[in-house]
C-alpha cells in the first residue's frame, strides 16, 4: 500500500480525532491552569484550582468515596462475573448465542433506562419495598435507593458485562488439556480449578477489574438518578462545576484529576492485555 493511499484512507479519521478530541483535551488542561473572572477566561498559569481541590476536605472526601464505590463495584462484578464467564467459556449449549445476547443487551440498552429499572425496583414505593410492606414483613420501607447501596447495585449491573467479556476472552484461551492433565495426575476438579484455571485466568481478572474500576469511577448518571444527588462522586462534581456553577477552570481541574487516574489505569490495562494476548500468562 502506497503512502498516498495510506494518508487518504487514514487521514479523515486521524484529522477528526486530532481536532475534535486531542486539541479539546489539551485545551481542557490549559483551562484548568487558567483563571476565570466574570465569565471571561484569563489565560494565565496557576495551580490554584488543583491546590483548592487537594486541600479542601469536601473534595478529598468525594475523591475517597468515588474510589471506594469503584472498588466495591469492581469486587462485586468480579464475584458475579467469574461464574458467568466460566460457564460461557466452557458451555457447548445450543443456547450460547442467546446467553451472549443476554450479556450484550444490557450494553445496548441506554444507561438512563437501566437506572430507571433500578429506580422502579428500589424506590421507597418501589416494587421491593411495596411488596414487603403489603405482606407485612416490614413496617416501613428499607433504604434501598438514594444511598451508596443502591448506587453500587446499579453500578455493578451497568458494568458487569465488561467484566464478563474480559474474563471470557481469557478463560476461553486456556487449553482444556491442561486441566485434563492435572486431573489425570490426581487433582480433584476443585483443586484443578484453583491451581490451574484460576491462576491462568488472572490476566483476565486484572484486565476486567481495571476496566470496570475505571468505568465505575467516571460514571455520573447512576449517582445522579439512583443516588438522587445524595451520593457525591467526582464526575458529578465535574458535571455541576461545568454545567451549573459554570466555574470552568475548577471543573476542568476536577476533570483532569479524573483523567490522570483513568490514564494511569488504562496504561496498566494496555500492558496487561498485551501480555495476555501474547500468551505470556
Indicate the SS3 state at residue 213: helix
**Which cell numbers hold the place of 156?**
455493578
Using alpha carbons only, give the angle 266, 269, 273 rounded to the nearest 5 degrees: 140
Q: Which of 51, 60, 96, 198 binds another protein (CB under 8 A)?
A: 96
CB-wise, 202 or 266, nearer to another protein? 266
79 vs 181 by CB, closer to another protein: 79
Supply the minimum distance, in Å, between the C-beta of residue 57 and another protein.
24
Cell matching residue 253: 481541574
Concatenated DSSP letters of 72-114: HHHHHHHHHHHHHHHHHHH---TTHHHHHHHHHHHHHS-HHHH
Q: Does 258 bind another protein (CB under 8 A)?
A: yes
Report the site for another protein in 8-47 (rule: CB under 8 A). 8-10, 12-14, 16-17, 20-21, 23-25, 27-28, 31, 41
- Does 277 sit near another protein (CB under 8 A)? no
Stretch that binds another protein, among 48-56, 57-65, 199-207, 255-263 (CB under 8 A): 255-263
Shortest distance in whole angstroms from residue 78 CB to another protein: 12
**Residues 179-198 within binding reach of another protein (CB under 8 A):** none
Q: Residue 42 forms beta bridges with which residues?
A: 35
Which residues within the stretch 205-224 sit at the binding site for another protein (CB under 8 A)?
A: 214-215, 218, 220-221
Nearer of residues 99 and 185 to another protein, judged by Cβ:
99
Helix (H/G/I), strand (E/B), else coil: 228: coil
**Which residue's CB is nearer to another protein, number 125 or number 185?**
125
Q: Which three cell numbers stand for residue 179?
A: 486441566
When binding is defined by CB under 8 A, the residue of 69, 78, 255, 276 that contacts another protein is 255
90: Cβ–Cβ under 8 A, 6 or more apart, which residues? 171
- Kindly list the distances between the CA atom of residue 228 and the CA atoms of 144, 187, 213, 257, 273, in Å, as whole numbers in the listed order: 12, 51, 22, 24, 36
Residue 210 CB, nearest approach to another protein (Å)? 10
Task: Show Cβ contacts of residue 155 under 8 Å, excluding neighbours closer than 6 positions.
Answer: 69, 73, 216, 219, 222
Q: CA-to-CA distance for 63 and 57, rounded, in angstroms?
A: 10
Report the residue number, 2 or 57, with the smaller CB distance to another protein: 2
Cα distance between residue 228 and residue 230, in whole Å = 5
Terminal C-alpha separation, the chain: 35
Q: Which of residues 153-182 bind another protein (CB under 8 A)?
A: 157, 160-161, 165, 168-169, 172
Q: How far is the CB of 52 from another protein (least distance, A)?
A: 18
Of 182 and 254, the one with the shorter C-beta distance to another protein is 254
Kindly identify the residues of this chain, within the stretch 98-127, that bind another protein according to CB under 8 A. Answer: 99-106, 108-114, 116-121, 123, 125-127
Residue 24 Cβ vs another protein, minimum distance, rounded to whole Å: 4
Does position 242 bind another protein by CB under 8 A? yes
Amino acid at each position: 500500500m502506497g503512502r498516498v493511499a495510506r494518508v487518504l484512507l487514514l487521514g479523515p479519521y486521524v484529522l477528526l480525532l486530532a481536532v475534535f478530541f486531542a486539541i479539546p483535551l489539551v485545551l481542557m488542561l490549559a483551562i484548568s491552569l487558567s483563571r476565570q473572572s466574570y465569565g471571561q477566561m484569563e489565560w494565565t498559569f496557576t495551580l490554584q484550582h488543583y491546590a483548592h481541590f487537594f486541600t479542601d476536605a469536601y473534595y478529598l472526601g468525594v475523591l475517597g468515596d468515588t474510589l471506594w464505590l469503584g472498588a466495591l463495584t469492581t469486587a462485586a462484578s468480579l464475584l458475579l462475573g467469574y461464574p458467568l464467564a466460566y460457564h460461557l467459556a466452557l458451555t457447548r449449549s445450543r443456547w450460547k448465542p442467546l446467553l451472549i445476547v443476554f450479556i450484550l443487551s444490557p450494553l445496548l440498552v441506554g444507561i438512563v433506562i437501566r437506572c430507571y429499572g433500578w429506580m422502579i425496583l428500589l424506590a421507597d414505593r418501589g416494587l421491593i419495598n411495596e411488596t414487603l410492606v403489603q405482606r407485612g414483613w416490614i413496617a416501613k420501607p428499607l433504604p434501598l435507593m438514594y444511598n451508596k447501596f443502591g448506587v453500587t447495585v446499579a453500578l455493578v449491573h451497568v458494568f458487569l458485562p465488561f467484566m464478563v467479556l474480559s474474563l471470557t476472552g481469557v478463560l476461553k484461551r486456556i487449553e482444556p488439556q491442561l486441566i485434563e492433565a492435572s486431573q489425570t495426575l490426581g487433582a480433584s476438579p476443585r483443586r484443578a480449578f484453583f491451581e490451574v484455571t484460576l491462576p491462568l485466568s488472572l490476566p483476565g481478572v486484572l484486565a476486567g477489574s481495571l476496566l470496570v474500576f475505571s468505568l465505575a469511577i467516571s460514571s455520573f448518571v447512576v449517582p445522579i438518578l439512583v443516588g438522587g444527588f445524595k451520593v457525591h462522586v467526582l464526575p458529578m462534581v465535574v458535571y455541576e462545576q461545568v454545567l451549573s456553577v459554570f466555574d470552568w477552570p475548577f471543573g476542568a481541574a476536577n476533570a483532569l484529576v479524573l483523567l490522570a487516574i483513568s490514564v494511569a489505569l488504562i496504561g496498566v490495562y494496555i500492558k496487561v492485555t498485551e501480555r495476555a494476548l501474547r500468551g505470556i500468562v
